[in-house]
Amino acid sequence: MRRFEGYAVMLTGAGRGIGEATARRFAAEGARVLVTDLDGERAAKTAASIRADGGEAESLACDVAERADAEAAVAHAVRSFGRLDVLVNNAHSCNRDTPLFEDQPDDEWHQDLDITLGGAFRCARAALPHLAAADGRGAIVNVGSVNGEQDFGNHAYSAAKAGLAGLTRTLAGHAAPRGVRVNLVVPGTIRTPGWDGREDTLRRAASVYPLGRVGEPTDIAAAITFLASSDAAWITGVTLPVDGGLLTSNLGLRRAFGHRAASEEA
C-alpha cells in the first residue's frame, strides 16, 4: 500500500528511534521525506539509508529550540519537494528528575519544555500555511507520551507532553477550517536506542503491560502514518494511546488484590 504517493513529509527528531521508523514507513508508502534531527550526521545517515532502500529522502540538521532552524527546515522541505503535506513533531528532551523536586534546575526544566513543547509550536507555526495549501490533506501528528496522561516521573518532560496534548486540541480547532488535521499519538515504553544497556529494565517494564511487552518504534510509526493518511480523514484533535494497554489497567494493583493475568495462569 502506498498511501502517501506524491506527499511531502517533514519529521523532527527523526535520526533514530520512533522518528527514524516513521520516516522509513512514510518513504515505503511513497512519501518524499525530510529527516531532521539536532544531530545532522544522524539525520543524514537515516536519509541515506532510506534512499538506499529506494525511497526519497533528504536530511537537515535542525534545533527546534531555535525559531530560525524550524522555519529553515520547513522552507527546505517546500523548496525541495514543492509542497508540504505532513508535519510530524517528534523531537523532545527528557532530563532526569532530581531526588527532591525543589532541587530541579531551572535550565533543565526550560530545556524540556522548550524543545518538547516549544519545538512543536515553532514547527507547526512555520508549517501551517503550507499544510493549509495542501489540497485538504494537510496534517500534523504530534508525538506525546503516557507521561503526559499519568504519573510516571520526569516532571518537566511530563508537563511538556501534557502541554503538547493541550496544544494538539486547540490547534486542531483552529486548523480544521483551513483543511488541516492535528492529532496526538501517545506512546508507552518503546524500545529505542535511549534504552540501550538497560535491557533488564525493559524486561521488568514488559511485565506491567497488559499486552505483555514493551513497544517497538514500528508500532508508533504505524499509528502516526494512519493519523496522517486519508484513512483518518475525519479524525482531528484526538489523543491516541499506543501503549499496550498501560493506561487502561493497573496490573500492580490487580496483583495486589490477587488477580493474575491470563499469561501468568497458563
Owning domain of residue 39: 8-265
**Euclidean distance between CA atoms 133 and 84, whole angstroms:** 8
pLDDT digits (tens, 9 = 90+) for 230-265: 999 999 999 999 999 999 988 777 778 876 655 555
Within-domain flag for 2: no
CA distance 109 to 201: 25
Q: Per mean pLDDT, which range of 30-34, 78-82, 193-197, 239-243 is the poorest?
A: 193-197
| Res. 266: pLDDT tops 70 | no
Specify the pLDDT at position 264: 57
| DSSP 3-state of 38 | coil
- What pLDDT score was predicted for residue 253? 72
Residue at 62 is within a domain: yes
Residue with the bigger pLDDT between 128 and 257: it is 128
Q: What is the pLDDT of residue 246?
A: 95
Q: Which of 26, 81, 121, 157 is catalytic?
A: 157
Q: Indicate whether 247 belongs to any domain.
A: yes
Assess if residue 145 is contained within a domain. Answer: yes
- Domain-located, residue 3: no
pLDDT score of 48: 98
Mean pLDDT, the chain, integer? 95
Give yes or no for residue 78 having a pLDDT over 80: yes
pTM given for the model:
0.94
Question: Is 13 a domain residue?
Answer: yes
Confidence grade of residue 194 (pLDDT, cut at 50, 70, 90): confident
Predicted pLDDT of residue 262: 53
CA–CA distance, 82 with 56 (Å, rounded to integer)? 14
Give 137-150 pLDDT, tens digit per residue. Answer: 999 999 999 999 99
DSSP string, 74-113: HHHHHHHHS---EEEE-----PPPPSSGGG--HHHHHHHH
Instruction: Tell me whether residue 153 is in a domain.
Output: yes
What CATH number is attached to the domain comprising 53? 3.40.50.720
Mean predicted confidence (pLDDT) in 47-66 = 98
Burial of 225 (0-12, 13-18, 19+ CB in 10 A): buried
- Total domains in the chain come to 1
Q: What are the C-alpha distances in Å from 51 to residues 9, 12, 58, 240?
A: 15, 18, 9, 30
Q: Read off the pLDDT band of 170 (50, 70, 90).
A: very high
Task: Name the band, by pLDDT with cuts 50, 70 and 90, for residue 51.
Answer: very high
Active site includes 157?
A: yes
Q: Is residue 12 part of a domain?
A: yes
pLDDT at 230: 97
Query: Residue 189 pLDDT > 80, yes or no?
Result: yes
